[in-house]
Structure 1
Amino acid sequence: MIVDACGREFRFRFDPSYRLAARLFGIRDDSAVVRVGAGELCARFGPWTVRTPLRNIAAVSLTGPYAFVKTVGPAHLSFGDRGLTFASNNTRGVFVEFVDPIRGIDPFGLVRHPNLTMTVAEPAELVTLLDAR
Structure 2
Amino acid sequence: MEGFKMYALLLFPLFCMGQINVKYADIPKKEGRYGTYVTKSGQTIALRDSLTIGMPTGPNGFRFINVGKFSASNVIAGRKVGVERIRTFRRGRLRGKVFVEANSYGLMRPFRIDYEMALKSGEIVAPEQNQSNGH
Bigger Cα Rg:
2
Q: What TM-score, normalized by structure 2, do the two folds share?
A: 0.31
- The structure that is helix-richer by fraction is 2
Structure showing the higher strand proportion among its residues:
1
| TM score, norm. by length of structure 1 | 0.31
